[in-house]
Structure 1
Amino acid sequence: MLENQTFNRVGTNHQISANAYNLILGAVLLWGFAVNWYLVTTVPADVIQAIPMLLFMAGYMITTLTGVAIIFKSEKPLYSFLGYNLIVVPIGLLLVIVLPDYSHQNIIKAVQTTALLTVGMMLLGTAFPAFFKRIEASLFIALVVAIVVELGQAWLFGTRLAAMDWIVAAIFCGYIGVDWGRANQIERTVDNAIDSAASLYLDIINLFLRILRIMSKK
């Protein structure tokens, strides 16, 4: 879901085989989830909660935006991987705070459902890349509107509609198809594999959190 320009760099790295490209992309994705799992299982939630929320969110935003900026500008795999970790670590710390509010059973179910949806959307992204490319702008507009609506509900009325979780989950399902389809169409370089993994990681994490909310409400 990162900007298109991130993936439009060509000729800046040596092209690699399709197998190597997909292996690197998958390995980077798994690295991000492994880091998240490690943080969630080893960092006590009360340690993070002891940090003032405003300070934590400021650090979270600065770190993740720095990571996105590095990925966006970098043409070197090492720098892109650094940017990726600057996104993964603060999200992992956020999960340390968020996940204790949910039951272990719902977390497992959400992980399983997210995995199935991710694989399904990747298959669709491979089969119909032109379709997902056409709907990308619509998905972006829908996501912006959803964010504005949710913020308006929270700040103005102190409420939130359960339907918004379903809407946002559908949007990120679409983004997985978009980003996977794009990943298979751009030049196969190590840097592009890392950049593609970063976008897919953000899509999958956001989808997981929405599914977790939906299942917990049930």
Structure 2
Amino acid sequence: MESPVFARRANPMDRTLSPAAYNLVIGLTLCWGFWVNWWMVGNILVESIRSIHPWLFFGGYFASCLTGAWLFHRSNQPWVSFFGYNLVVVPFGLIVNLVVSRYDASLVHEAIRITALVTLGMMLLGTLFPKFFASIAGALTVALLLVIVVELVEVFILGIHHGVVDWIVVLIFCGYVGVDWGRANQIPKTLDNAIDSAAALYMDIINLFLRILRILGRK
């Protein structure tokens, strides 16, 4: 299903940005989210996160993420979308904190470098071939849902995890980066759309980073 953000069409009442300003806002919004996550990793003790009751933690995590996603998907006000974006960034930061604490710092830095290079490459492809990525968006959604079901069965029923699943998820989110970047450049270049597009890309990139880190960790 297409996000309401990427289904938006031009409105004569909307104030549009230049392509350079539009892309700058996307970049700055992404950098804000990554900086918040970096700050959380450096300043929030992992033990304090682990001390939260699992039901409370995951309940709060999903409530915050879903509320944030609803806000930036539905709102056409930049400040509301930015608030919703932060409601997604903060719980993601807690998960990132828990995950990176299990790995050596050099491995985390390598995962960041690889994720950045892959993201830039997929953005370039999304710019060059927007129609191709638009055509695979539905297939990516189906593939992601299937992978989620497979992982839940493996972890909670079979008690195993196949490494190939991580590679599949990496490919899926590589595709999503191309899809969302291509879509971001097809909709009206407004301030609100830039923030909303950055929010979608942020979730793609963080999920990509976590899987790359997991793959590197197995080596």
TM interval, short-chain normalised: over 0.9
Alpha-carbon displacement from aligned partner over 1:164-184 (angstroms, at most 9, x marks no partner) = 000000000000000000111
Q: Which residue of the partner structure matches residue 30 of structure 2?
A: 29
Matches within 5 A, 1:1-218: 3-10=2-9, 11=11, 13-218=14-219
Question: What displacement does 1:9 show?
Answer: 2.7
Question: Given residue 169 of structure 2, which amino acid in structure 1 is its aligned partner?
Answer: V
Identity %: 51
Q: Post-superposition shift, 1:13?
A: 2.8
| Distance (whole Å) between structure 2 residues aligned to residue 3 and residue 152 of structure 1 | 27
Tell me how far 1:95 sits from its aligned partner: 1.6
Q: Distance in 2 between matches of 1:140 and 1:118?
A: 19
Taking the aligned partners of 2:117 and 2:136, their CA distance within structure 1 comes to 22
Question: Is the 8 Å Cα contact of residues 140 and 176 (structure 2) preserved in structure 1?
Answer: yes
Counterpart Cα distance in 2 of 1:98 and 1:54? 18
Tell me the TM-score normalised to structure 1 length. 0.97
Aligned residue type for 1:87: V
Q: Please list the CA deviations of residues 97-151 of structure 1 after superposition, one character each: whole Å capped at 9, or x if unmatched.
A: 2211111111011000000000000000000000000011111110000000000
Aligned counterparts of 2:58 and 2:4: Cα–Cα separation in 1: 27
Shift of 1:3: 4.3
The secondary structure found in structure 2 opposite 1:142 is helix
Q: Is the 8 A contact 2:144 2:172 kept in 1?
A: yes
Is this contact kept in 2: 1:111–1:208, CA < 8 A? Answer: yes
**How far apart, in 2, do the equivalents of 1:44 and 1:16 lie?**
40
- Paired residue type of 1:164: V
Residues 18 and 188 of structure 1 are in contact (CA less than 8 Å); yes or no, is this contact kept in structure 2? yes
Q: Distance in 2 between matches of 1:121 and 1:161?
A: 26
Q: Which runs of 5+ in 1 are unaligned?
A: none
Give the aligned residue type for 2:192.
D
Can you list the C-alpha shifts for 1:24-49, whole angstroms capped at 9, x where unaligned? 01000000000000000001111111
Distance of 2:96 and 2:131 partners within structure 1: 34
* Residues 52-103 of structure 1, C-alpha deviations (whole Å, 9 max, x = no match): 1121011000001000011111010000000000000111112222211111
Q: Tell me the distance in 2 between the aligned counterparts of 1:67 and 1:108.
A: 28
Alignment-mate amino acid for residue 108 of structure 1: H
Q: TM-score, normalised by structure 2?
A: 0.97
* In 1: Cα distance, 2:16 partner to 2:169 partner: 35
Q: State the one-letter code of the partner of 1:163.
A: V
> How many residues are aligned here?
217
Q: What is the RMSD computed on CA atoms of the aligned residues?
A: 1.1
Distance 1:110 1:72 in 2: 29
C-alpha separation in 2, matches of 1:133 and 1:8: 12
Q: Does the residue aligned with 2:101 lie in a helix, a strand or coil? A: helix
* CA–CA distance in structure 2, aligned partners of residues 19 and 6 of structure 1: 20
Q: Which ranges in structure 2 are unaligned for 5 or more consecutive residues? A: none
Contact 2:4 2:74 in 1 (8 A): no
Letter matched to residue 175 of structure 2: G
Cα distance in 1, alignment partners of residues 48 and 209 from structure 2: 24
